A = this chain, B = another copy of it.
Amino acid sequence: MEERLCDDALELEKFVSQMKEIMVEHVNNSRKPDALVLDYKSPEELKNVNTWHPGFMGKLYAGTNPVGIISEMLITLLNANSHVYHVSPALTIIENTVSQSLAKLLGMGEESGGITCPGGSFSNQLAMITARTCMFPEIKTKGYHAFGKKLMVFTSISGHYSIDKTAMTLGLGIDNVIKVPCDDQGRMRTDELERLIKNSFQRGEMPFYINATAGTTVLGSFDPLFEIGKIAKRYNLWFHIDGSWGGSLVFSNKYRHMIDGANLADTFVLNPHKMLGTPLQCSFLLARDKKIFSQSNSLKAEYLFRQDDDLGDGTVGCGRRPDAVKLFIGWKIYGIQGYQMRIDHAFKMAKYLTLIVRNNQRFKLVLDEPPSLQVCFWYLPIGIDFNLENKRFRKMISMITKEIHRRIMYRGKFLLDYSPTIIGEKEFPCFFRIALNAPSICEKHLEDMVNEIEKTGEDILEWYEEFDDEINGEMRNGVNGNGYIDIENGLNK
């Protein structure tokens, strides 16, 4: 140990050289034709998932890039803590500058700015904490228990679950998050929003916070931000936009119209670690008035915070990774144009996948025109009629989706995802959800992936017939016999 300490520089050179070999080999391997995105193993002989592989299409993030790697190496080398200015002066200035640039790009105005949080959920959490303190400062000191009215939160039924978790955390209660229905494209219905707000006021409650979603998790839908912003203003509610996924569209001239209305937000979340390929985590909470974070969240802990520039004071954390540095370096190297190319390429791939799925009669798109980068569809075995009204069909199609998914995961060439959802008033059973994000994805990968699903679908026909009786039995008895048939309960859990 003692010796080790003296040789830090030497040891670092040796370690990083070895690590470089491993890294380059890892990335090279991920692009070989026979590469696996997941080398399926029992827990005893486990490997991990390779997010650099173009077959990684299961989540809203993807592998990072060499620029991302060196920005993380820089952060690690500095081992810097962006909680107070005097131990991280340059990084504090970078965080302020990048946040302000992002907020201005979104049209949030001259006084706008922001702060990073360790992920979109914590950004959503800090937004609601800040909103509550700004609107009802006495809750900060006396607590919600002493408050006269019940605070109510509004989000669409397709909004992220972190809104519920935040309501749980803040002591508002999950039951007091009102889920506004969506239209048939998965967007919040503003007529319903306004009706529900009015009803809540009439019940003597205190509506205070609307969460609009710019890019929902499952379908990639965009709530009508401009309309929602007007309603928030009409009823004096805090207007928060969860743009964790879709906020990055601000970098694309072609698609930024999808977040029109962002300028009306009081607070806005944007996660470059999703659509821009910045390493995990990198999440910005932006505000129309950049001073609200320190004003509402500071406790003036004198042993630590002494300057207005101490960023940690505006959060509910203490030590912080300087995550803004990652977007700063990426933005410097790629530029807005580089990010635009990345986004536009992803849209091109989403449109291509939509096309080949639409033109294949074994598939059925969930939305005929996917709103952004998630393409969602079912595989339909030959001889089965598509009929969502039929409960038996819904059970069966969920079961088929999950079994195909399981087999594809096992083979490891693609990492896909599946999900159920609710659109309009209807429950939609499990479908494939393909997230097009990684710039390494090209047309060929999508064709291969569709072929893989189709081939697997044909393979399971025998398996499916075997389980057919079981489904019928369960339908009669109302029993949920195994882990693969849980859609009916799943949505209500």
Contact = CB atoms under 8 A, between A and B. Distances in A.
Interface in A56-79: 58-59, 61-70, 72-79
B281 A319 contact: yes
A419 B90 CA distance: 23
A81 B161 CA distance: 17
A232 B14 CA distance: 50
B168 A169 contact: no
Contacts of A50: 78
A279 interface: yes
Contact of A144 (B23, B74, B144, B166): B144
A111 interface: no
A344 B161 CA distance: 45
Interface string A204-243: 0000000000000110000000000000000000000000
A448 interface: no
A170 B169 contact: yes
Nearest to A318: B121
Interface stretch (A26-34, A180-188, A287-295): A26-34
A12 interface: yes
A43 to B, nearest CB: 6
Contacts of A18: 70
A24 interface: yes
Interface in A82-97: 86-91, 93
B171 A341 contact: no
A142 interface: yes
Given A72-B73, A139-B171, A125 B64 contact: no
A493 interface: yes
A281 B321 contact: yes
A72 B72 contact: yes
A296 to B, nearest CB: 9
A8 B145 contact: no
Given A66-B8, A280-B81, A273 B319 contact: yes
A421 B72 CA distance: 36
A58 B16 CA distance: 28
Interface residues of A, number: 131
A66 B11 CA distance: 6
A174 B195 CA distance: 35
A146 interface: yes
A145 B141 contact: no
Contacts of A345: 1-2
Interface stretch (A249-257, A298-306, A385-393, A458-466): A298-306
Interface string A428-440: 0000010000011
A143 B90 contact: no
Contacts of A15: 66-67, 69-70
A456 interface: no
A325 B204 CA distance: 50
Contacts of A168: 129, 133, 140, 297, 299, 316
A474 B9 CA distance: 52
Given A51-B78, A132-B171, 7 more contacts: A2-B341, A48-B90, A49-B80, A64-B79, A144-B145, A174-B299, A217-B303
Interface of A: 1-2, 4-5, 8-9, 11-20, 22-24, 26-28, 31, 43, 46-52, 58-59, 61-70, 72-81, 86-91, 93, 118-122, 125, 129, 132-133, 139-147, 150-151, 160-162, 164-176, 217-218, 273, 279-281, 297, 299-304, 316-321, 334, 338, 341-342, 345, 409, 415, 419-421, 433, 439-440, 490-491, 493
By Cβ-Cβ distance, the 6 closest A-B pairs, closest first, are: A143-B173, A171-B171, A118-B118, A144-B171, A72-B76, A303-B419
